A = this chain, B = another copy of it.
Amino acid sequence: MNKQPKYRQVADALRRDINNAVYGPGSRLPSESELGEHFGASRNTIRSGLALLVSEGLISSSQGLGYEVRKHEVFELNASRFENLTFPQNGDAYNTDVTAAGRRPSQTFRVEVAPATEYVAERIRVARESTTVLRFCHRFVDDVPWSTQATYYPDWLVKEAPRLAEPGDIEEGTTRYLAGIGVEQVGYRDEIETRMPTPEEARLLDISAGPVLLWTRTGYSDTKPIRCTITTLRGDLNRLAYEIGNLSALEEELLP
């Protein structure tokens, strides 16, 4: 027989109850002491079991309140909608998508000059530590921190497109502004990863547990890379989607 440690038995029992909706989304779990009595375990052992479920993203805890079953709400970002002149939009797809979902987007924004990290440098093909312009966005949906987005532009491009270095939004969108001065983004390469947040990311995105989704887009003109955008998304709140090829079958679904 495969004997599990007691804290795992506690976690398994509670997980089963949560999946079977004995404890529904948003409802509160019994207190640590009550669970301790129920399972015949010390408070610390119960806490180990609960910590497992917290790390799995099933429950969350707040001091003075107790443990609560988390409700899941996912926002989908369409990453394949082409960022070009055929889709008029401000900045990028974010405002469009969030508003379309009936939610209220907001953001803080800043521009700075920053040395290229190794990660960025190899993608926009500049020397490590060389100067870049960083346009940084901290995004919220209904005032909940949702994602951060950092776009790096190489120095040579900023010389051609000085408005990139100016603080404040570019009304018509950076992609369109660049196209207007003859630098057109004709393709991009996306990379998607996941990992646990750094303490800094956890602070910015108000993450108490669970992973982040990292989405890097390197945009190319017909001759060279022109930007690198790194988006850090709360994993529990976001999903990325790509639609590729002929999807006429999908559109029909939405007809009356």
Seen from chain A, the residues whose Cβ lies within 8 Å of a Cβ on chain B are: 12, 15, 55-57, 74, 76, 79-80, 82, 125, 185-199, 210-213, 220-225, 235-236, 238-250, 253
Contacts and interface: CB of A to CB of B under 8 A. Distances in A.
30 contacts: A15-B199, A55-B196, A57-B196, A79-B242, A80-B242, A187-B244, A187-B248, A187-B249, A188-B243, A188-B245, A188-B247, A189-B243, A189-B244, A189-B247, A191-B240, A191-B241, A193-B213, A193-B235, A193-B240, A194-B194, A194-B235, A196-B210, A196-B211, A210-B211, A220-B247, A221-B249, A222-B246, A223-B249, A224-B249, A225-B249
Contacts of A246: 186-187, 220, 222
A179 to B, nearest CB: 13
As for how many copies of this chain the complex holds, the number is 2
Contacts of A253: 125
A223 B82 CA distance: 24
Pick from A125, A194, A238 the residue with the most CB of B within 10 Å: A194
A121 to B, nearest CB: 14
B242 A189 contact: yes
A245 B55 CA distance: 39
Contacts of A247: 187-189, 220
A194 B222 contact: no
A125 to B, nearest CB: 8
B235 A211 contact: yes
A211 B195 CA distance: 6
B56 A220 contact: no
Contacts of A213: 192-194
A191 B211 CA distance: 17
Nearest to A57: B196
A189 B223 contact: no
B221 A194 contact: no
A70 to B, nearest CB: 11
Contact of A195 (B198, B224, B236): B236
A125 B224 CA distance: 42
Contacts of A225: 249
